């Protein structure tokens, strides 16, 4: 009897493990109670202008994050998602409604690592088997400066620091894998940047702003200026220079020292001391990542999108409200949030236009030919485009429009530009000449419905973008059976020109699937146990090779250098 019970336990345990393997990264396989959150994990130190020393210097700030993991997971090689919160690059606290401009108010409904959407999405991802980190980053700029160029200068510098911090977080995990014993159990080759609101600006700019030279050459010279002419400071250079300078701000990924001179205008601009604006963190490790996700953010300049044949950039998924008043859906001028009258900052490009330009540049080819057999919610997505405002109805493969009813107070604006978040803070009423006012969603149930859609849209696409073989198999097996006990070898892998595929059974056909689901090659009537897969124009990167047999199919991840 004991042997029978033991056998039943072993069988049921094996079935349970098989189910976990099959559904991982597509559906929650761990209960919420199993998710642990390691708070305030340091990932670096860098200079912040938000709080300065008595001498006016930027001071070092410890950079921290909250790391979400399933406690009972036996997998130790998991994809990583870095989540960046909203907040307009300013600190947040629930303000006193009678004093809306008090210190700490950032003009939005959140701005912390424990924002509702950040906690919910990171928890969901951990339940699906990911390691997720809600990452804090440096804040601070001068949104209320009376000088337009100063507002623009301060904002591009804030965004630059955000890119540096995101790069630092990526390298922190890679060095932890390399020399720290991989204490978080991550796969450093499978990384996602997931940004909400202002965090969406970080994830977008991380994906497209991959060279410093793109800043001074941005459209219409919007990120260059003559600081002496603009500010009247006699110690500033009297020349047209970039608003961000690598020697001053550190390089784009934050691995070099950046210093700025502090001078005395009363003493012929004599040098008093050097102010360090960037401290290197984890140099020697890559800042690359595989997939960018944008919730309601915008891109600093559309010229940063490259042709895929020249410079492949990470795949991009976006979610945005078409009539978002804070971030343009196509192209428009970013304004200081909550101000009446509005203070303009700089022209930026939103999700609809960015996705359109990405497709035209060949950066979204993997998404364009994906069909309903592979990627869930496609029908819902098409309906959302069909019901979008006139002129914004052309389908974009990586974009999900969230259509919102008009605001009850301001009918020209949507009820929410971030329907995935909720908070106890109800927002602020308009005060003419001071603040335009805004509402915050306090209903968790409505926000959860949008997060459900975000995760369902994200999950299968991320499986292909990251090359997660177990969940790719699960997606493909929804249409045909997965073969068991068939061995497939691929060598060399990675390869430069060709990969030899060999199997213990006769291969009937072969399909090659690009990241996120595009069928890029279809070979029928192989009818052999061996096949040489030649590159023949395939771009560098990871591919899913699907081999069909009489009993079903087997997949193999193959990479070309």
Question: Residue 47 pLDDT more than 70?
Answer: yes
Question: Residue 15 pLDDT more than 50?
Answer: no
Q: Which of 490, 469, 458 is nearest to 560 (CA)?
A: 490
Contact present, 135 and 65 (Cβ < 8 Å)? yes
Tell me the pLDDT band of 66, cut-offs 50, 70 and 90: very high
User: pLDDT at position 281, please?
Assistant: 98
Out of 299-303, 472-476, 480-484, give the one with best mean pLDDT: 299-303
Domain ranges of the chain: 25-226+285-442, 472-560
Tell me the pLDDT band of 21, cut-offs 50, 70 and 90: very low
Question: Residue 300 pLDDT more than 80?
Answer: yes
What are the φ/ψ torsions at residue 20 (nearest 5 degrees)?
A: -60, -45
User: pLDDT at position 269, please?
Assistant: 93
Give the mean model confidence (pLDDT) for residues 394-410. Answer: 86
- Residue 390, Cβ density class (10 Å: 0-12 exposed, 13-18 middle, ≥19 buried): exposed
Both tokens assigned to 441: 């969603």
Question: Residue 188 pLDDT more than 90?
Answer: yes
Both tokens assigned to 545: 């090779």
Tell me the per-residue pLDDT of 408-426, one tens digit each, with 9 for 90 and over: 767 777 888 899 999 888 8
User: pLDDT at position 18, please?
Assistant: 38
Tell me the per-residue pLDDT of 537-551, one tens digit each, with 9 for 90 and over: 888 888 889 899 988
Question: Residue 212 pLDDT more than 90?
Answer: yes
User: pLDDT at position 517, please?
Assistant: 66
Tell me the per-residue pLDDT of 500-524, one tens digit each, with 9 for 90 and over: 999 999 999 999 987 656 778 989 8
Q: Would you call the peptide bond into 304 cis, given omega within 30 degrees of 0 as the criterion?
A: no
User: Residue 261 pairs with which residues in a beta bridge?
Assistant: 274
User: Residue 186 pairs with which residues in a beta bridge?
Assistant: 78
Give the mean model confidence (pLDDT) for residues 270-279. Answer: 94
Q: Which of 44, 354, 18, 40 is nearest to 195 (CA)?
A: 354
User: pLDDT at position 166, please?
Assistant: 98
Average pLDDT of the residues of the chain: 88
- 477 or 457, greater pLDDT: 457
What are the φ/ψ torsions at residue 499 (nearest 5 degrees)?
A: -125, 130
- Who's near 361: CB < 8 A, 6+ residues apart? 305, 306, 307, 308
Contact present, 413 and 407 (Cβ < 8 Å)? yes
Question: Residue 399 pLDDT more than 60?
Answer: yes
Tell me the per-residue pLDDT of 141-179, one tens digit each, with 9 for 90 and over: 999 899 999 999 999 999 999 999 999 999 999 999 999
Tell me the pLDDT band of 341, cut-offs 50, 70 and 90: confident
**CA dist., res. 44 & res. 230, Å (int):** 34
Between CA 151 and CA 421, with CA 101 as vertex, the angle to 5 degrees is 85
Give the mean model confidence (pLDDT) for residues 228-232. Answer: 95
**CA dist., res. 540 & res. 561, Å (int):** 5
**CA dist., res. 421 & res. 439, Å (int):** 12
The gap from C-alpha 30 to its chain's centroid, in whole angstroms, comes to: 24
What is the sign of the dihedral through the CA atoms of 304, 293, 318 and 290?
A: positive
Q: What percent of the chain has a predicted confidence (pLDDT) above 90?
A: 63
Question: Residue 479 pLDDT more than 80?
Answer: no
Number of Cβ atoms within 10 Å of the Cβ of 359: 19
Give the mean model confidence (pLDDT) for residues 222-240. Answer: 95
Tell me the pLDDT band of 1, cut-offs 50, 70 and 90: very low
**CA dist., res. 70 & res. 416, Å (int):** 32
- Give the CATH number of domain 472-560; options: 3.40.50.11810, 2.60.40.1930, 3.40.109.10, 3.10.20.30: 2.60.40.1930
- For the whole model, what pTM was predicted? 0.85
**Alpha-carbon distances of 337 from 10, 101, 290, 345, rounded to whole Å:** 59, 12, 31, 10
Least confident residue range of 296-305, 314-323, 432-441: 432-441
Both tokens assigned to 375: 């990627």
User: Residue 319 pairs with which residues in a beta bridge?
Assistant: 295, 400
Question: Residue 238 pLDDT more than 90?
Answer: yes
């Amino acid at each position: 009897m004991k042997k029978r019970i033991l056998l039943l336990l072993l069988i049921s345990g094996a079935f349970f493990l098989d189910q976990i393997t099959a559904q991982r990264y597509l559906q929650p396989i761990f209960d919420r109670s199993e998710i642990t959150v390691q708070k305030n994990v340091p990932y670096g130190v860098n200079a912040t202008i938000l709080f300065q020393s008595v001498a006016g210097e930027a001071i070092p700030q410890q950079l921290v994050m909250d790391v979400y993991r399933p406690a009972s997971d036996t997998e130790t090689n998991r994809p990583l998602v870095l989540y960046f919160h909203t907040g307009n690059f300013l600190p947040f606290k629930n303000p006193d409604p009678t004093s809306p401009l008090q210190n700490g108010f950032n003009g939005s409904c959140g701005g912390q690592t424990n924002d509702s959407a950040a906690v919910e999405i990171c928890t969901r991802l951990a339940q699906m088997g990911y390691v997720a980190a809600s990452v804090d980053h440096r804040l601070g700029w001068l949104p209320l400066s009376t000088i337009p160029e100063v507002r623009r200068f301060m904002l591009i510098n804030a965004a630059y620091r955000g890119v540096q911090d995101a790069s630092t977080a990526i390298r922190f995990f890679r060095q932890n894998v390399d020399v720290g014993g991989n204490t978080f159990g991550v796969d450093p080759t499978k990384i996602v940047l997931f940004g909400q609101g202002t965090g969406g600006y970080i994830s977008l700019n991380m994906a497209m702003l991959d060279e410093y030279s793109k800043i001074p050459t941005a459209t219409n010279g919007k990120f260059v200026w003559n600081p002496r002419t603009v500010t009247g400071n006699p110690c500033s250079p009297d020349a047209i220079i970039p608003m961000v300078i690598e020697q001053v701000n550190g390089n784009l990924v934050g691995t070099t020292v950046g210093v700025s001179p502090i001078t005395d205008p009363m003493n012929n601009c004599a040098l008093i001391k050097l102010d360090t604006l960037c401290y290197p963190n984890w140099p020697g490790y890559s800042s690359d990542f595989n997939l960018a996700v944008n919730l309601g953010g915008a891109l600093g300049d559309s010229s940063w999108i490259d042709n895929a044949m020249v410079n492949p950039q990470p795949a991009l998924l976006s979610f945005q409200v078409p009539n978002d008043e804070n971030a343009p859906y196509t192209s428009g001028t970013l304004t200081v949030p909550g101000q009446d009258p509005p203070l303009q900052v700089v022209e930026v490009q939103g999700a609809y236009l960015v996705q359109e330009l990405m497709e035209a540049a060949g950066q979204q080819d993997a998404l364009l030919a994906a069909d309903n057999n592979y990627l869930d919610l496609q029908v819902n997505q098409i309906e959302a485009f069909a019901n979008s405002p006139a002129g914004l109805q052309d389908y974009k493969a990586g974009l999900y429009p969230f259509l919102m009813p008009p605001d009850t107070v301001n009918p020209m604006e949507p009820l929410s530009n971030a329907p995935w978040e909720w908070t106890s803070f109800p927002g602020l009423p308009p005060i003419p000449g001071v603040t335009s006012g805004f509402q915050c969603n306090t209903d968790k149930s409505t926000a959860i419905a949008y997060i459900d859609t975000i995760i369902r849209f994200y999950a299968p696409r991320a499986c292909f973008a990251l090359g997660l073989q177990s969940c790719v198999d699960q997606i493909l097996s929804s249409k045909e059976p997965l073969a068991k006990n068939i061995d497939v070898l691929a060598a060399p892998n990675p390869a430069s020109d060709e990969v030899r595929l060999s199997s213990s059974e006769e291969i009937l056909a072969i399909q090659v699937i690009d990241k996120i689901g595009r069928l890029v090659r279809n070979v029928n009537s192989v009818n052999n146990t061996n096949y040489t897969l030649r590159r023949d124009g395939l771009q560098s990167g990871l591919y899913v090779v699907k081999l069909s047999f009489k009993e079903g199919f087997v997949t193999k991840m193959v990479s070309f250098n």
